[in-house]
Amino acid sequence: MQVFTTKTDLIDYLSTIAKERTIGFVPTMGALHQGHLRLIEESNNNCDITICSIFINPTQFNNPKDLAKYPNTLDKDLSLLKKANCNIVYSPQVSDLYIVGEKAKNYNFGDLATLMEGKHRPGHFNGMATIVEKFFRIINPTIAFFGQKDLQQLQIVKALVKQIKIAIEIISVPIIREKSGLAKSSRNKLLSPSDKEHASLIYKCLLYCKNNKSEGVNKLKKYLCKIINSNKNIELEYVEFVNLNKMKIIEDWGEENKNAICVAVYVSGVRLIDNIIL
């Protein structure tokens, strides 16, 4: 496994080995877990070369405290990636990707970015798209792999490749969960065992909705809010029932597997998101 900390070295290396080979790209912010490793596996299965980036992108954090406490476990990440047969890691400093004072670009993703993460984390998607576009232009992968855990992000990345007219296929991977149902997340490292127990309520509620879809959107939304709000350790930020492709609020179910319920909560000050497609 080759590890690069500058884009110049990475580009040089790719120019020597990437000819006629397909490149799979997995962008991450590190503190890797099984969810990330599932993306690496998918890339290995689909491409000749797998590149993983580890970069905590400052422009996508609207809350400086969230950025400051984001976990950083680089040595462990590198050993996990090696075991997972990742070929190349790119783990740059901020100065390799941003000039001093550089801000996120302003994109227009329309309705895709107005609700949920777009509403509650102002500037988040501009920051995310800025760094993803930079990575795409440096690496020029054949396929990029994203998790359904960040469902709205996934739809925005698909829109981004169309907008910037770059020929990269986007493949998504289902959410990997802990035994309790809690979605794996780097932020779970900041939770105590009892926090995790409380947080596992989210998936139980989402699963209830999937299994009781016939109760209808409005009734299930009220149910979800009531159950989550009744746990004093969980602070609900939003729950939205949306159309999967447009990320717009629905009043009634659309076609099977074209609807999603997306949730964001805080548990002991740690922000967690989850969703289910139904």
Catalytically active residues are: 36
**Residue 78 interacts with ligand AMP (CB under 6 A): yes or no:** no
Measured from each CB, the residue nearest to ligand AMP is: 147
Residue type, 41: E
Nearer CB in complex with ligand AMP: 87/186: 186
User: Contact letters (x/-) for ligand AMP, 166-185, by CB under 6 A?
Assistant: -------x-xx------xxx
DSSP 158-204: HHHHHHTT---EEEEEPPPB-TTSPBP-GGGGGS-HHHHHHHTHHHH
Distance CA 277, CA 268 (A): 27
List strand residue ranges (DSSP E) for the chain, in order.
2-4, 23-28, 49-54, 88-90, 143-147, 169-173, 234-243, 259-267, 270-277
Q: How far is the CB of 276 from ligand AMP (least distance, A)?
A: 13
DSSP 120-155: HSTTHHHHHHHHHHHHHHHH--SEEEEEGGGHHHHH
**Cα dihedral 162, 120, 264, 213 in deg (nearest 10):** -70
Number of residues that bind ligand AMP (CB under 6 A): 17
List binders of ligand AMP among 6-45 (CB under 6 A): 28-29, 35-36, 38-39
**Residue 156 interacts with ligand AMP (CB under 6 A): yes or no:** no
Identified binder of ligand AMP from the candidate list 146, 159, 220, 265, rule CB under 6 A: 146
Distance CA 118, CA 129 (A): 12
Q: How far is the CB of 160 from ligand AMP (least distance, A)?
A: 13
Instruction: For residue 268, report the phi and psi dihedrals to the nearest 5 degrees.
Output: 45, 45
Distance CA 65, CA 57 (A): 14
Q: Which stretch binds ligand AMP (CB under 6 A): 1-9, 144-152, 163-171, 265-273?
A: 144-152
Q: How far is the CB of 216 from ligand AMP (least distance, A)?
A: 29
**Residue 191 interacts with ligand AMP (CB under 6 A): yes or no:** no
Q: Which stretch binds ligand AMP (CB under 6 A): 84-92, 145-153, 202-210, 222-230?
A: 145-153
Nearer CB in complex with ligand AMP: 152/259: 152
Neighbours of 169 (CB within 10 A): 14
Q: State the DSSP H helix or E strand holding residue 114, giving kind and residue range, or none if neither.
A: none
**Residue 127 interacts with ligand AMP (CB under 6 A): yes or no:** no
**Residue 50 interacts with ligand AMP (CB under 6 A): yes or no:** no
**Residue 59 interacts with ligand AMP (CB under 6 A): yes or no:** no
Q: Which residues bind ligand AMP (CB under 6 A)?
A: 28-29, 35-36, 38-39, 146-147, 149-150, 173, 175-176, 183-186
